Amino acid sequence: MTEEEIIQRVGLWQKCDFVHPLTCGKDKCDGILVAKVNTDIDPYFDWGEPAVVLTCPKCKDYIQEHIPEVVFNINYEQFDIMSELIEEMKKRNKNG
């Protein structure tokens, strides 16, 4: 999987209505984590090698290197179908 694909998958997970998003591990911060390539965060820091990490846009002070396997193991076709169903239900509720 390329870095771009990893970032895309984390993005799908984070905006999904029916899973719990990955949140910041800092006390009293509930920021929704965003996937970024570590060298894009700080090109001058010695990261070892480029990798996708999770960062917190809220406190800007949290970096998580581990991305749970479930983010990649989920069936994204079903994921899309579920998302469409939820969107459809929201529209119906609005039009009500």
User: Applying CB under 5 A, which residues contact Zn ion?
Assistant: 24, 26, 29, 31, 56, 58-59, 62
β-partners of residue 23 are 32
How many Å apart are CA 8 and CA 95, to the nearest integer? 31
Measured from the CB of residue 43, what is the shortest distance to Zn ion in angstroms? 22
Cα–Cα–Cα angle for 41, 46, 48, rounded to 5 degrees: 100
Nearer to Zn ion, 22 or 52 (CB): 22
Measured from the CB of residue 24, what is the shortest distance to Zn ion in angstroms? 3
Token couple for 44: 């001058």
Measured from the CB of residue 48, what is the shortest distance to Zn ion in angstroms? 23
Cα–Cα–Cα angle for 51, 48, 63, rounded to 5 degrees: 55
Nearer to Zn ion, 62 or 72 (CB): 62
Nearer to Zn ion, 28 or 94 (CB): 28
